[in-house]
Amino acid sequence: MSQQDLFEDIRPYRDNEVREILIHLTNDPEFHDTLAKWVAAKVHSTAPGLSRWAVKQFLRFYFRGVTTVDQFQSKLEKPLGKVINSSSAGLSVSGLDQLDPNKPYLFVSNHRDIVMDPAMVNWTLYQNGFQTVRIAIGDNLLSKPFASHLMRLNKSFIVKRSVKGMREKLKAAKQLSQYIHHCVVEENANVWIAQREGRAKDGYDSTNPAVIGMFSLSKPKDREYASYINELNIVPVTISYERNPCDVQQAKEMYTKASQGSYKKRANEDLRSIARGITGDKGRIHVAFGEVLQGDFENDADVAKAIDQQIHANYHLFETNEWAAKTVAGEVLDASENMTKALAEAVSILNDDIKPFLLKQYANAVQMKQQQPPL
């Protein structure tokens, strides 16, 4: 089997597929309906047919002449810039000046938001002359065909989380490992992947050693472990949001798990979280790029620990974090900044049983910086 065939079902779309996929999207009624509800909710509620027609015409106009992935991503730059400006108080970046735009990297990032995490990394790379990343995304987020098309047009590749059985899981993990290695080492392409499956809903970032184990699944038996890992040019990335637009929902979810033992997501809950994460007020955002991991690593836990050390050290604390940490410790404080006032108000109206879960989401960042375990 050729490498092209090996990655066929998980790879991003290629340039020669872009036009056909865009035609399909511009004729997809479900995509029109979803987009209309998002960007023009009032119009859609009173004239759904008209709003869907308007969305279709806009898509045809906006993506006319787009025939490559780079052109598609260029079309996303302006809307993403508007989203950043409208939903944040500014984006700052550090560490990128220590990296070489001509070298490929495997960016291993903390995970707070489904879409905005890789979007923030991509935005900062694009604005500073680096190639954009190929994004690892779980198939659980691709329940709608239009979502899959959009993600794969945007250089996303699929992580098969829904496969059943140990043999199939191992097969999928090895395919993913081979693809990531192929991207970085053979195609000189940047890759983004979260440090763990699922967002850090408790606000404490930790790398799952199983993710690192997946990286090395494709290692030949005669290769040294450290050499193979170092070859991937792993760069830890820390994304810090002053406010998480999904924080209240996540606090309720964590409370339900703690009190009932489990939590069952509602239909399309992830898609609603994506929309809230994109449009919700995030306050200030900081993206910190760490140093390339190079070391005599003996196992997956060693690599995970090295990634965590950088992610924790580079986390940017905001007043929301400091206020929450002191509130958890029993101090009574006035919230002085706007985002902290908004957080304090959100805490005040919650059920007393849920309040600690919201506070800990922010206080745990302080725990990380102090090299302390999560609350």
| DSSP one-letter string for 264-290 | -PPTTHHHHHHHHHHHS----EEEEE-
Contacts of 361 (CB under 8 A, 6+ apart): 201, 202, 203, 244, 247, 250, 251, 324
Say which residues have a Cβ less than 8 Å from residue 2's Cβ, sequence separation at least 6: none
In the prediction, which pLDDT does 336 show? 77
Neighbours of 189 (CB within 10 A): 19
CB 78 within 8 A of CB 272: no
Interatomic CA distance for residues 338 and 234, integer angstroms: 36
Q: What is the pLDDT of residue 3?
A: 59
| Dist. CA 357–CA 328, nearest whole Å | 10
Whether 325 and 366 have beta carbons less than 8 Å apart is answered as: yes
Which pair of structure tokens corresponds to residue 42?
């009032």
- Report the distance separating Cα 194 and Cα 133, nearest Å: 13
288 strand-pairing partners: 94, 238
Q: What is the pLDDT, as a whole number, of residue 38?
A: 82
The whole-angstrom separation of Cα 129 and Cα 123 is 10
Tell me the domains of the chain and their CATH numbers: 81-314 (3.40.1130), 317-375 (no CATH)
**pLDDT 10s digit of each residue in the chain, 375 long?**
455 579 999 999 999 999 999 999 999 999 999 898 888 888 888 998 999 999 999 999 999 999 999 999 999 999 999 999 999 999 999 999 999 999 999 999 999 999 999 999 999 999 999 999 999 999 988 888 998 999 999 999 999 999 999 999 999 999 999 999 999 999 999 999 999 999 999 999 999 999 999 999 999 999 999 999 999 999 999 999 999 999 999 999 999 999 999 999 887 788 789 889 999 999 999 999 999 999 999 999 999 999 999 999 999 999 999 999 999 999 988 887 889 999 999 999 999 999 999 999 999 999 999 999 999
User: CB-based contacts of 56: which residues, under 8 Å, 6+ apart?
Assistant: 26, 27, 32
